[in-house]
C-alpha cells in the first residue's frame, strides 16, 4: 500500500469514533443545540485561519511541482471555505471577531504549525483534517439532516471538489515518501486532535 493508503487504514476506525461523538451525531440528526454549533463555528474559524498559515508554510518548502497545489489550497481555504464559514456562522449568530481559542483549538493549531516546519511531517499532520472531513461529509451525505443549515455544512464537505483537494494532499504525501512510522504517528496524533475538537468549549 502507498503511505496515504496506510493512513486511510488507520484513520477509518477513528472516523467511526468521530461519527459517534455527540456533536457529530447531533449534526447528522440535524438537532444539535444551536449554542453548541455556534461555539464550534467560532473555534473552527480560528482554526481555519491557522490552517491557511500551515499551507503557506508548506508551500515555501514544496517542490516546484506542488507549489501551485499548496498555494491553491491556501487560497481555497481562505477565500472559499472561510466565505462559506462566515455565511453559516451568521445564521447561527456566531461572534467570529470576538472568538478566542479554546484549549483544543490552541493545541491542534500549535501541533500543525510546529509540524509544518518539515514538509513531509506537515503533510502527514494536516491530512487528518482534509481526509477526515471529506470522509465524514461523504458518510453523512448518505442520510443527510433535514435541517437546512446542518445540511449545508454536510454538503460542503461531501462536495466532490473537496474530495479532489484531499486527493491532491494524498499524492503529495506519497511523493514526499516520509518515514512510514513517523507519518503514522503524526497522522494518529492529528486524528486525536480532530476528535478533541468536537468537544466544544
What phi and psi values does residue 60 have, to the nearest 5 degrees?
-60, -30
pTM of the predicted structure, to 2 decimals:
0.94
Condensed to tens digits (0 to 9), the pLDDT of residues 28-68 reads 999 999 999 999 999 999 999 999 999 999 999 999 999 99
Between the CA of residue 18 and those of 7, 74, 145, 186, 199, what are the distances in Å? 16, 25, 17, 18, 11
Rounded to an integer, the average pLDDT of 15-32 is 97
The whole-chain average pLDDT of the chain stands at 95
Flag whether pLDDT at 155 surpasses 90.
yes
Flag whether pLDDT at 201 surpasses 80.
no
Residue spans of alpha helices (H) in 93-179: 103-115, 119-140, 148-158, 160-176
Flag whether pLDDT at 129 surpasses 80.
yes
- CA dihedral of residues 142, 74, 46, 23 (deg, nearest 10): 10
DSSP 56-90: HHHHHH--HHHHHHHHHHHHIIIIIIHHHHHHHHH
Under the banding of pLDDT at 50, 70 and 90, the label for residue 5 is very high
Is 83 or 35 the better-scoring residue by pLDDT? 35
Under the banding of pLDDT at 50, 70 and 90, the label for residue 80 is confident
- Chain-centroid distance of CA 18 in Å reads 13
Under the banding of pLDDT at 50, 70 and 90, the label for residue 141 is very high
Amino acid at each position: 500500500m502507498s503511505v496515504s493508503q496506510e493512513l486511510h487504514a488507520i484513520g477509518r476506525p477513528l472516523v467511526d469514533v468521530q461519527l459517534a461523538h455527540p456533536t457529530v451525531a447531533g449534526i447528522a440528526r440535524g438537532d444539535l443545540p444551536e449554542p453548541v454549533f455556534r461555539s464550534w463555528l467560532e473555534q473552527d474559524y480560528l482554526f481555519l485561519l491557522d490552517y491557511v498559515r500551515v499551507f503557506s508554510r508548506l508551500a515555501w518548502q514544496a517542490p516546484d511541482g506542488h507549489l501551485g497545489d499548496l498555494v491553491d489550497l491556501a487560497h481555497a481555504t481562505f477565500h472559499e471555505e472561510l466565505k462559506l464559514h462566515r455565511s453559516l456562522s451568521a445564521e447561527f449568530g456566531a461572534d467570529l471577531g470576538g472568538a478566542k481559542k479554546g484549549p483544543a483549538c490552541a493545541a491542534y493549531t500549535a501541533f500543525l504549525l510546529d509540524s509544518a516546519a518539515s514538509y513531509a511531517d506537515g503533510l502527514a499532520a494536516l491530512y487528518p483534517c482534509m481526509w477526515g472531513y471529506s470522509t465524514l461529509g461523504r458518510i453523512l451525505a448518505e442520510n443527510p439532516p433535514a435541517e437546512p443549515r446542518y445540511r449545508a455544512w454536510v454538503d460542503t464537505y461531501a462536495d466532490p471538489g473537496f474530495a479532489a483537494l484531499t486527493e491532491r494532499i494524498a499524492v503529495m504525501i506519497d511523493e514526499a515518501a516520509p518515514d512510514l512510522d513517523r507519518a503514522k504517528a503524526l497522522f494518529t496524533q492529528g486524528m486525536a486532535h480532530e476528535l478533541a475538537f468536537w468537544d466544544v468549549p
